[in-house]
C-alpha cells in the first residue's frame, strides 16, 4: 500500500481550498453524528454482537481500526506476526494472537469455527522504495491462505485491501522482467517501477478474491496519511480510482467498519480517494516516505531476527 507520511498536514492556503476543507470537515462531523443514530442499534461502547478478525494488526490502518471497532462495541481478534507490536491497551473485547499469512493453520486458529466473524485483511509488505522488488507472492499467496482458512472454518465475509497505485503500474505495463525505463526518477515513477512486484501481486490478489466464492469487498485506498480525520472520502465503485489523492488513515478505518455493518458493496471493488491531491499538501515527497518506510522495515527485520534467535535458542 503506497503511503506518504508528513509531520503535520499543511495545505497550500488558497481561499477555495480552505472553504472546501471547512465544508468537508463539517459534513464529515455531521455524518458521524448521523451514523451514531442510524447505523447502530446499540449504544456506542456496548457490545454490538459483531465479531471481526483483523489480519495484519500491526499495520497502520489497524492501529486506527482497533480502537474504533471497540468503541462501536465490536469484538476484535487482532492477528499479527509480531503480536507484541499491536498498539492497543488490554480490552475485554480484544484478543491479540500470533499469525502469519504464509501459515494457513495459524489463520485458522484465529477463527472461532462458528463462521460468524468478518475477516478484514489489511496486511502488506514492509518495503524500501529505493530497492527493486520485481516479484513477490506475499499478497496473493497470503490471501489464498486466508480464503482457505475461512472456508475451513465456515467464514463467509472478507474485506481485502490493495492500492490505487496498482492502477499506474498496470497502465505503465511494468512486469518482473521490464527493464528500468530511461530517465525514471523519484518524481516521475521510480516508486511504481521499484515496487512493481508488490503491486502486480495485488492484482493477482484481487483476481483470487473475486473467484473465491466468498462475500467479499475489495478496497483500493489512495495515498494514506496519519493525520486527523477529515470526513471527505469519495468512492469509485467498480471503476478506476483517481490517482495521487490523499486520504487519512482514521477515515479509511471508519469506512471499513461502516461496511462491517452494511451489505452495500458486497462483491464490489471500491476505490477510496478524496478531492485533495498530493500537489496541494506540503512536505509530501519521495524522500520523506523513504525515511519513514526504511525505519519501519528496519524495525520489522530486527523483530523477526530477534524472534528467530529466541526460537533457535529454545531448541538447543
CA–CA separation, 195 and 169 (whole Å): 9
User: How long is the chain?
Assistant: 316
- pLDDT reported for residue 163: 96
Query: SS3 helix, strand, coil % of the chain, rounded to 5?
Result: 40, 15, 40
Question: What digits encode the pLDDT tens for the residues 27-52?
Answer: 443 444 334 333 444 556 689 999 99
Residues of the chain whose pLDDT is less than 50? 1-41
Class in CATH terms, 10-314: alpha beta
Compute how many other C-beta atoms are within 10 angstroms of the C-beta atom of residue 127: 21
Rounded (10°) angle between helices 196-210 and 138-153:
30
Residue range 215-260, pLDDT digits in tens: 999 999 999 988 899 999 999 999 999 988 999 999 999 999 999 9
Question: What is the domain partition of the chain in residue ranges?
Answer: 10-314
Closest CA to 41 of 49, 33, 32, 53: 49
Do residues 59 and 123 touch, judged by C-beta distance below 8 A?
A: yes
CB 145 within 8 A of CB 107: yes
Rounded to the nearest 10 degrees, the angle between the axes of helix 165-172 and helix 196-210 is 110
pLDDT at 159: 98
Residue that is written with C-alpha cell 477510496 in the block: 272
Answer for the pair 52, 76: CB distance below 8 angstroms, yes or no: yes
Say how far apart CA 229 and CA 249 lie, in whole Å: 7
What pLDDT sits at residue 281?
65
Amino acid at each position: 500500500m503506497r503511503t506518504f507520511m508528513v509531520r503535520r498536514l499543511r495545505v497550500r492556503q488558497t481561499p477555495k481550498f480552505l472553504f472546501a476543507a471547512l465544508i468537508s470537515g463539517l459534513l464529515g462531523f455531521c455524518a458521524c453524528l448521523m451514523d451514531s443514530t442510524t447505523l447502530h442499534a446499540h449504544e456506542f461502547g456496548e457490545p454490538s454482537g459483531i465479531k471481526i478478525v483483523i489480519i495484519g494488526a500491526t499495520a497502520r490502518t489497524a492501529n486506527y481500526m482497533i480502537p474504533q471497532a471497540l468503541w462501536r462495541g465490536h469484538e476484535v481478534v487482532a492477528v499479527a506476526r509480531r503480536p507484541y507490536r499491536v498498539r492497543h491497551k488490554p480490552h475485554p473485547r480484544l484478543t491479540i494472537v500470533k499469525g502469519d499469512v504464509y501459515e494457513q493453520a495459524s489463520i485458522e486458529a484465529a477463527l472461532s469455527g462458528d463462521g460468524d466473524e468478518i475477516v478484514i485483511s489489511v496486511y502488506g509488505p514492509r518495503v524500501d522504495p529505493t530497492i527493486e522488488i520485481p516479484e513477490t507472492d506475499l499478497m496473493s499467496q497470503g490471501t489464498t491462505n486466508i480464503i482457505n482458512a475461512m472456508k475451513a472454518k465456515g467464514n463467509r465475509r472478507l474485506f481485502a485491501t490493495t492500492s490505487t497505485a496498482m492502477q499506474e503500474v498496470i497502465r505503465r505495463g511494468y512486469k518482473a522482467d521490464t527493464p528500468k525505463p530511461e530517465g525514471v526518477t523519484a518524481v516521475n515513477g521510480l516508486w511504481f517501477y521499484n515496487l512493481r512486484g508488490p503491486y502486480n501481486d495485488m492484482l493477482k490478489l484481487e483476481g483470487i478474491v473475486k473467484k473465491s466464492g466468498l462475500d467479499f469487498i475489495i478496497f483500493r485506498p489512495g495515498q494514506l496519511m496519519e493525520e486527523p480525520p477529515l470526513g471527505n472520502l469519495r468512492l469509485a465503485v467498480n471503476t478506476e480510482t483517481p490517482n495521487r489523492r490523499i486520504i487519512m488513515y482514521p477515515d479509511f478505518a471508519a469506512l471499513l467498519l461502516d461496511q462491517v455493518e452494511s451489505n452495500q458493496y458486497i462483491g464490489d471493488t471500491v476505490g477510496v480517494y478524496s478531492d485533495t491531491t498530493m500537489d496541494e499538501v506540503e512536505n509530501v515527497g519521495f524522500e520523506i516516505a523513504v525515511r519513514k518506510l526504511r525505519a519501519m522495515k528496519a524495525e520489522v527485520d530486527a523483530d523477526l531476527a530477534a524472534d528467530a534467535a529466541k526460537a533457535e535458542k529454545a531448541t538447543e
